[in-house]
């Protein structure tokens, strides 16, 4: 991998462990609808796929179902109300961020999470003023795997894509990095499901713990 000047992170399942609060919102909604909650182990692999994936898991609904919009709105309300209930940086990630900052290497966030959820979460975690850039799912006209969010982040930090590494835990993250001509690292500690085949996604590297990121700085 080439020398790098910035490390850019996916949010859910890469930088921050949001699955407990997403699971809480989904299970609360299931119980409101008279259904049984799901085991956390069943919800965790779907956490990176946002409300569409979680509502499909919990209710078997896709966005074209007539009940979907109302359930999605209630799910987002429940999640927003509990957005930092248990969410925290992944173990070792605080050390990674501190070492990046000590080395004057920019770090930022590119997520498909909408800004109305991204920003309050980062404020609650004390990260929003430390990140060199925050690109949410609705910051540009397109979301990952489209390269637009990646290129917008590069504009914000005034670096070329070739000078950045993007770290994510989903296939769309690796595709987005490739589409933007950016190096990529797959976070295998993230929200991968049993059906996922991360080795086939052709990331430039695969890591099993956040501290392995330090090998690249």
* Active-site residue flag, 56: no
Token code pair at residue 96 = 């990674």
Question: How far out from the chain centre does Cα 90 lie?
Answer: 12
pLDDT at 216: 77
> Quick check: 52 and 68 in contact, CB under 8 A?
no
Tell whether the model's pLDDT for residue 98 goes beyond 70.
Answer: yes
Instruction: Name the residue among 110, 112, 122 with its Cα closest to residue 151.
Output: 110
pLDDT at 133: 98
Instruction: Name the residue among 107, 106, 169, 113 with its Cα closest to residue 136.
Output: 113
* Active-site residue flag, 169: no
pLDDT bucket at 1, cuts 50 / 70 / 90: low
The model's pLDDT over 116-156, given as tens digits with 9 standing for 90+, comes to 999 999 999 999 999 999 999 999 999 999 999 999 999 99
Tell whether the model's pLDDT for residue 194 goes beyond 80.
Answer: yes
Q: What is the pTM of this model?
A: 0.95
Spell out the CATH class of 6-17+87-216: alpha beta
Q: Which of 10, 17, 21, 169 is catalytic?
A: 10
Residue 95's φ and ψ, nearest 5 degrees, are: -60, -40
pLDDT at 4: 87
H or E element in which residue 118 lies: helix 115-124
Q: Which of 12, 17, 169, 173 is catalytic?
A: 12
Q: How many CB atoms lie within 10 A of CB 181?
A: 14
């Amino acid at each position: 991998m080439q020398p790098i000047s910035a490390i850019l992170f996916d949010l859910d399942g890469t930088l921050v462990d949001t699955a407990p609060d997403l699971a809480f919102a989904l299970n609360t909604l299931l119980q409101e609808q008279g259904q049984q909650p799901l085991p956390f182990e069943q919800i965790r692999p779907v956490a990176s796929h946002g409300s569409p994936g979680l509502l499909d898991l919990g209710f078997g609904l896709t966005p074209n179902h007539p009940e979907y919009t109302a359930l999605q709105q209630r799910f987002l309300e429940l999640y927003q109300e509990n957005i930092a209930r248990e969410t925290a940086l992944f173990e070792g990630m605080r050390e990674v961020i501190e070492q990046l900052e000590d080395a004057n290497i920019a770090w930022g966030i590119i997520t498909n999470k909408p800004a109305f959820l991204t920003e309050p979460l980062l404020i609650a975690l004390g990260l929003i003023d430390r990140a060199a850039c925050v690109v949410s799912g609705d910051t540009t006209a397109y979301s990952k795997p489209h390269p637009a969010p990646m290129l917008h982040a590069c504009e914000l930090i005034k670096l070329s894509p070739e000078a950045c590494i993007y770290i994510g835990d989903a296939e769309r993250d690796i595709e987005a990095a490739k589409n933007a001509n950016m190096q990529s690292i797959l976070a295998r500690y993230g929200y991968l499901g049993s059906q996922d085949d991360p080795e086939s996604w052709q990331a430039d590297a695969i890591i099993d713990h956040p501290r392995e990121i330090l090998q690249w700085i």
